[in-house]
Amino acid sequence: MTVAAIVPAAGRGERLGLGRPKALAVVGGLTLVARAVDGLVAGGVDVVVVAAPPGDEDAVRSALGHRCATVVTGADDRVGSVDAALAALPADTEVVLVHDAARCLCPPDVVRAVVDAVRAGHAAVVPAMAVADTLKRTGPAGEVTATVDRSGLAAVQTPQGFAATTLRAAHDRARARREAGEPPAATDDAGLAEDLGVSVVTVPGDPRAFKVTTPLDLAMAEALVVAGSA
């Protein structure tokens, strides 16, 4: 059973303010995309396909170095990038993970848990953590209109895992929506699977799988690596 992973890394990372794609930001001497690929392979992934920003394919290949990963040209959104990478997967792929390069410190144990859950027969799996913060609903002027009951709420992470047939079907529907001029049903792959009526199950996430989006996130990731905690 071939386990493949898609890393959509075509984001420009404007909020990081580095003047280069987010996936090429460096943490502890390695780029985010290189660290993400290393974590996937350590978690049992056989094949990795990275969707790079158009025009930066060679830079991503250079960042990956000796790592066995195929680089394809990504799109201007996540759905398009994953769709492009799906076409590059081996025909015998049975399990597909979709993983953010920006979640570069995700522990291999989380990767393995997602893979194991898909192998156990679940068509769609996401790592998730209970929401710890108090949540407020606000109005147009920023005023609090309600306190949201956080019981039953979860913050989802990546890698999100799928039976290959499920992920392909979800992206076939998303592509048809786009061609019809409609917006995609969701911004992540689990949401696209939900749009098919597929049940999505969760496995425990990990705080280290946070998404590097801002300079503060980058500093936190660097501190964890330096401390040996990631």
- The pLDDT profile of the chain, 230 residues, written as one tens digit per residue, is 899 999 999 887 777 877 789 999 999 999 999 999 999 999 999 999 999 999 999 999 999 999 999 999 999 888 999 999 999 999 999 999 999 999 999 999 999 999 999 999 999 999 999 999 999 999 999 999 999 999 889 999 999 999 999 999 999 999 888 888 888 788 899 999 999 999 999 999 999 999 999 999 999 999 999 999 87
Q: Which two tokens stand for residue 172?
A: 């076939």
Distance CA 168, CA 192 (A): 10
Distance CA 67, CA 86 (A): 19
Instruction: Report which residue type is found at 70.
Output: T
Tell me the CA distances in angstroms from 92 to 19, 48, 85, one per residue in order. Answer: 39, 14, 15
Bond into 53 cis (ω within 30) = no
Query: What is the set of domains in the chain, with CATH numbers?
Result: 2-226 (3.90.550.10)
Exposed / middle / buried, residue 69 (Cβ in 10 Å: 0-12, 13-18, 19+): buried
CB contact at 8 A, 2 and 47? yes
Instruction: Report which residue type is found at 85.
Output: A
